[in-house]
Chains A and B, each alone.
Chain A
Amino acid sequence: MPSFSLAHNVKNTFFLLQMRSNAFEIAVSCHAVFDTNLRTDPLSKGVAFSFIKAIQDINEKLAVKNPKSPLFNVILVAKDLQEHQSTIVSSTQHYGLQISRFCFCNNENFTQSLQSTSVKLFLSMQTDDVCRALQEGVPAALLCPQTRFPAEGDKEEVVSPLKVLLSGDAIGLPEERLSEAGFSQLELQTFRAAKASMTEFALVIAEMRRCFDREDSPLRVALMTVLGSRDEMASALLTARDWGLEVDEAYCLAGASRGPLLNCIQPHILCYDGLYNVTEIPALS
């Protein structure tokens, strides 16, 4: 029985994406895109399937608005799915998903595989995977399952606008405050990594957004501080402005539970800063 101890990168021969030099590579977990539990061929759509379609829609619009704009380049990361390789690849073709590369790996080494692909953002619905990636130097963020689905029988809707939630704490909260508050070294390390990956992502989003008017932008940006208070939010808003990033929504929780609010905000991408794994967090005063 062959053992797949090394990552297996497969260049997608079925679709050739015009690789721009300023493409922003995102790696999306296959488990989000397809429902890999059901042994169907093609695979059924997963909870984040519409997200990929949304990314493609954004790419198309960007290409029209500004030929020089960075585009998203999507890599599909398939963890422990080696035996489904061909089904996965053919499913992406079946649904017309523009995947530039596939990365087949296993749970032990997926972060290494990602490092070797120089991906700019790894997206997964699993908080643990995101944390691990961040801790091992791979920029990562949470892909959020949407609770609002189109009804059965509806023509497939493209998710628009795509909402990105940035962590105001990562932008505006000074690290000293965190160590004072008793966060561990590992948590601080994750925080730093999250901050760096989020910054780069934010700059690309900013550039993409500048191609659109406020009214018709397929990208929407929200900022949320959980631990910091309004001063940190002010700092984060000013930093976003420095980046040329248009922020639409801002939420300052001051320690309130983020679950119910996230249900209202409904982001697609959540730039997790690694600071909270529990639902009730006291605000730093």
Chain B
Amino acid sequence: MNELKPSRVDHVADLKKIPPTRKPRSPDPKNCVTIAVSSRVLFDMSVEQSIYEQQGMEAYLTYQTQHETQPLQPGPAFPFIKAVEEVNARLRELDPDSEEVFDVVLMTNNHANVGLRLINSINHHNLFVERFCMTGGNSPIGYLKAYHTNLYLSADASKVREALDKGIAAATMFSPEKVVEVPEKQLRVAFDGDAVLFDDESERIYKAHGLDKFFEHEKELADKPLDHGPLKGFLEALGRLQKKFYARGQRLECPIRTYLVTARSAASSGTRALRTLRSWGLEVDEALFLAGAPKGPLLDKIRPHIFFDDQMFHVQGASRMGTVSAHVPYGVAQATTPTSSLTTSTHTHTTTTDN
């Protein structure tokens, strides 16, 4: 008979002491809006990540196990996920049995040894994350499809690129350089236009032929909708949820608000952007045309929970002012992207324990 280890630490006892809040059932992945987050964007694992990079896997796993009962602190995606849960609460008020809600899945290639710390942290922060995949080193990309993932957020750019290649909306998240307050009761999502909601057709023109040619091209084709970009589907999913509130006369108090924040100008190239959205039957609550001005200050006014852009330049600029920004590595802008100089080590090319 095998020797059993001495009696376990009282995690389970602790877990059972938490009053069982009547948890709603997790929806069928086919019906809901699934957001997959990696452990490094949901929680701050910068200390652990450097241990892994400097001392290797064993040291990393030992550290995690030793600190199992110490909950991890929030990461860059945390406020976004909290706001998503607020929306779910409002959606359930509208329609308690509907499966058209958000579902958050923890998608990590971490080893199951780290599982207990992650579960303890989720419990500590009272997050409703019921589904997770810890693939123990395997790529999580196949699992994203299995969960009908609508949006994948990770700290690992290569996994994000892989997901985009498979047609899954994805973005690399960075920790902002300072912490600013974001609304608790309203989810705010800001999108860049070209190469995020739209494809990169116009960016290619601009890069190849310059600004004048770009304007000419956009004017000529003002009535022709742009092709869709990697995050169009996610905007669409948000729109479907918004309509549920509109249908009940709650447009003004809608807990989801979307923003288009584009370098296009309202006077000229902006027309095509708006017409494209309209042709898709989509709308954004606010369309902000910067005509090339920096996005940071404007985003600071909006205070979105997440801002998607295909250009690192804009991601960095926004991050500097405290906006949680996510890079969508899609389109022609990636060919000349400078390597990241952000404070976090997320944008490395070393093999990471986790995304």
Q: Do A and B bind each other?
A: yes
Seen from chain A, the residues whose Cβ lies within 8 Å of a Cβ on chain B are 203, 206-207, 214, 220, 222-223, 229-231, 233-235, 237-239, 241-244, 247-257, 260-261, 263-264, 280, 282-283, 285
Q: Is B4 within 8 A of A251, CB to CB?
A: no
Do A249 and B130 form a contact, CB below 8 Å, given A223-B112, A230-B122, A238-B8? Answer: no
Docked pose: A237 CA to B12 CA in angstroms: 10
Q: Is A230 within 8 A of B22, CB to CB?
A: no
Q: Is B112 within 8 A of A249, CB to CB?
A: yes
18 further A-B pairs in the complex, CB-CB below 8 A; given A235-B12, A238-B11: A214-B58, A230-B129, A230-B132, A231-B12, A234-B11, A237-B112, A237-B115, A237-B116, A238-B9, A243-B2, A248-B112, A251-B134, A252-B131, A256-B147, A263-B142, A282-B25, A283-B25, A285-B25
Q: Is B23 within 8 A of A241, CB to CB?
A: no
Q: Is B131 within 8 A of A250, CB to CB?
A: no
Docked pose: A229 CA to B20 CA in angstroms: 12
7 residue pairs A–B, Cβ–Cβ below 8 Å? A206-B2, A231-B15, A238-B9, A248-B111, A260-B146, A261-B143, A264-B143
Q: Is B146 within 8 A of A263, CB to CB?
A: yes
Closest 7 CB pairs of A and B: A248-B136, A260-B146, A254-B130, A250-B112, A249-B136, A254-B26, A247-B112
Q: Is A248 within 8 A of B131, CB to CB?
A: no
Interface 1/0 per residue, B70-89 and A, CB below 8 Å: 00000000000000000000
For the complex, is B138 an interface residue (Cβ under 8 Å from A)?
yes
- A contact residues around B136 at 8 Å (CB): 220, 222, 248-250
Q: Is A254 within 8 A of B2, CB to CB?
A: no
Docked pose: A61 CA to B136 CA in angstroms: 23
Q: Is B4 within 8 A of A244, CB to CB?
A: yes
- B contact residues around A255 at 8 Å (CB): 25-26, 28
Interface size class of B (residues with CB under 8 A): 35 or more
- B contact residues around A238 at 8 Å (CB): 8-9, 11-12, 116
Docked pose: A180 CA to B116 CA in angstroms: 27
- A contact residues around B29 at 8 Å (CB): 256-257
Q: Is A285 within 8 A of B132, CB to CB?
A: no
* B340 CB, nearest partner CB in chain A, Å: 30
* B300 CB, nearest partner CB in chain A, Å: 36
Interface 1/0 per residue, B111-135 and A, CB below 8 Å: 1110110011011000001111111
* B55 CB, nearest partner CB in chain A, Å: 15
Docked pose: A141 CA to B48 CA in angstroms: 38
Do A250 and B132 form a contact, CB below 8 Å, given A203-B2, A206-B2, A241-B5? Answer: yes
For the complex, is B281 an interface residue (Cβ under 8 Å from A)?
no
Q: Is A230 within 8 A of B113, CB to CB?
A: no
Interface centre among B22, B29, B122, B130 (most CB of A within 10 A): B130
- B contact residues around A250 at 8 Å (CB): 112, 115, 132-134, 136
For the complex, is B24 an interface residue (Cβ under 8 Å from A)?
yes
For the complex, is B207 an interface residue (Cβ under 8 Å from A)?
no
Q: Is B143 within 8 A of A285, CB to CB?
A: no
The closest CB in chain B to the CB of A252 belongs to: B132
Chain B residues numbered 136-191 whose CB sits less than 8 Å from any CB in chain A: 136-138, 142-143, 145-147
| Dominant SS among interface residues on chain A | mixed
Docked pose: A95 CA to B306 CA in angstroms: 59
The closest CB in chain A to the CB of B61 belongs to: A214
The closest CB in chain A to the CB of B4 belongs to: A242
Do A242 and B137 form a contact, CB below 8 Å, given A234-B11, A260-B146? Answer: no
* A177 CB, nearest partner CB in chain B, Å: 11
For the complex, is B291 an interface residue (Cβ under 8 Å from A)?
no
Q: Is A234 within 8 A of B143, CB to CB?
A: no
Q: Is B132 within 8 A of A251, CB to CB?
A: yes
- A contact residues around B146 at 8 Å (CB): 260-261, 263-264
For the complex, is B59 an interface residue (Cβ under 8 Å from A)?
no
Docked pose: A214 CA to B134 CA in angstroms: 16
Q: Is B4 within 8 A of A254, CB to CB?
A: no
Q: Is A233 within 8 A of B115, CB to CB?
A: yes
For the complex, is B298 an interface residue (Cβ under 8 Å from A)?
no
Docked pose: A207 CA to B4 CA in angstroms: 11
Instruction: Say which residue of B4, B24, B119, B145 sits within 8 Å of A230 (CB atoms).
Output: B119
Q: Is B131 within 8 A of A256, CB to CB?
A: yes
For the complex, is B57 an interface residue (Cβ under 8 Å from A)?
yes
- A contact residues around B3 at 8 Å (CB): 244
- B contact residues around A251 at 8 Å (CB): 132-134
Docked pose: A248 CA to B16 CA in angstroms: 25
* B183 CB, nearest partner CB in chain A, Å: 28
- B contact residues around A253 at 8 Å (CB): 131
The closest CB in chain A to the CB of B130 belongs to: A254
Interface centre among A222, A233, A264, A283 (most CB of B within 10 A): A264
Instruction: Say which residue of A222, A237, A243 sits within 8 Å of B4 (CB atoms).
Output: A243
Docked pose: A197 CA to B27 CA in angstroms: 32
Instruction: Say which residue of A203, A249, A256 sits within 8 Å of B28 (CB atoms).
Output: A256
* A162 CB, nearest partner CB in chain B, Å: 14
Docked pose: A283 CA to B26 CA in angstroms: 7
Do A244 and B15 form a contact, CB below 8 Å, given A229-B130, A233-B119, A251-B133? Answer: no
* A254 CB, nearest partner CB in chain B, Å: 4
* A217 CB, nearest partner CB in chain B, Å: 11
* B31 CB, nearest partner CB in chain A, Å: 11
- B contact residues around A260 at 8 Å (CB): 145-147
* B34 CB, nearest partner CB in chain A, Å: 10
- B contact residues around A254 at 8 Å (CB): 26, 130-131
Docked pose: A2 CA to B115 CA in angstroms: 57
- A contact residues around B130 at 8 Å (CB): 229-230, 252, 254, 283
- B contact residues around A257 at 8 Å (CB): 28-29
